[in-house]
Amino acid sequence: MTFAGTTPEERTGKADVLLPPPLARKLETLELGSRLRRPGQLRGDRRSTKRGSSVEFADYRTYAPGDDLRRVDWNLYARTDRLFLKVYEEEEDRAVHLLVDTSASMGFGSPTKLTTAVRLAATLGYVALNGLDRLQLIEIGSKNRPRPWRGTGAVPAMLGYLSGLAPGGENALSRTLKEYAGSTKQVGLLILISDLLDPAGVGEGLRALGARGHEISVIQVLSPEELQPELSGDLELLDSESGQRQSVTLDGPTLDAYQRRLDEWLAEIRQTCAGVGASYNLVRSDATVENELFGALRASKVLVS
């Protein structure tokens, strides 16, 4: 794995924490799964659904930073001392929208849910960039605009940005999903990484994205403390986003009721995802990201060989 335009210190700093080189090498054999094939705006690795598409050579274009070196015509470089890429007929890129929830609730757990979400985003974003997909990364829970990247040369910038994410603020998930559905100019593969803890629910937002034409993958990250709380006695609970406090007595019947409601909520989410044709995966924040990538996410075709 190489990161163009970075120092050795940068490569062994943030990059290797989020994306260790051994994992990156494994990811280079994978791509993001998609049931649909859509035309893009720029030439890339995937042929579009337009008529006349083929694998026939069409032309050359000048190499630009971030382009895939595998497409360089090295024979032409030997003759001209200039880098040119081979371009094939109707080969176009795919839009990948990666939405990461950074609301305050994502700071809960040990490790935090956001820690796991960022690691997942780093690996999935790397697969997209390595495959010459056009990546848009959106931070849910802030006012930041979408961050667009393309090509492997953008990997350091993506990893640097992800490493700086921090939890904070109220959950704007439902509103953001609906707004994003109305604002995106090109539909494509949309991956949402979130705990989905929005009082407004996520149904309307996911349906809006589905109606827009996005192919959706939902990765829900919850902490072990949320899935199987080990608390008891008289406690005061604090909502990390609203600041509201609630006094509770946690005993056997109360915890049983919590588990029933949790199971019902997760079943509702699965049903909602199925209703819009979205894949769904539940990831524990203490899970090994590599196991999830090559286990559940491959099984559900989020990643394919």
Per-residue pLDDT tens over the stretch 1-40:
333 333 333 333 456 788 998 999 999 889 998 865 444 4
**Domain assignment present for 161:** yes
* Closest to 19 (Cα-Cα) out of 38, 6, 37: 6
- pLDDT tens-digit profile of 240-270? 565 667 667 677 788 889 899 999 999 999 9
Provide the number of structural domains found in the chain: 1
Cα 82 from Cα 4, distance rounded (Å): 18
Exposed e or buried b per residue across 16-49, where buried means at least 16 C-beta atoms within 10 angstroms of its C-beta:
eebbeeebbeebeebbbbbeeebebeebbbbbbe
The pairing of strands 95-101 and 303-304 is unpaired
Structural domain including 221 reads 95-304
Cα 152 from Cα 132, distance rounded (Å): 8
CA atoms within 13 A on the CB side of 101: 32
**Domain assignment present for 13:** no
| For residue 211, pLDDT beyond 50 | yes
**Residue linked to tokens 């509770």:** 248
Contact assessment for residue 91 and residue 45, using Cβ atoms and an 8 Å cutoff: yes
**Domain assignment present for 198:** yes
Helix H or strand E encompassing 80: helix 74-80
**Domain assignment present for 126:** yes
**Domain assignment present for 264:** yes
Under the banding of pLDDT at 50, 70 and 90, the label for residue 143 is low
**Domain assignment present for 29:** no
56 versus 169: which is more confidently predicted? 169
| For residue 135, pLDDT beyond 80 | yes
Q: Identify the CATH number of the domain in which residue 273 sits.
A: 3.40.50.410
**Domain assignment present for 49:** no
Cβ within 8 Å of residue 275, ≥6 positions away: 207
**Domain assignment present for 294:** yes
Contact assessment for residue 63 and residue 87, using Cβ atoms and an 8 Å cutoff: no
Report, as an integer, the average pLDDT of 109-130: 94
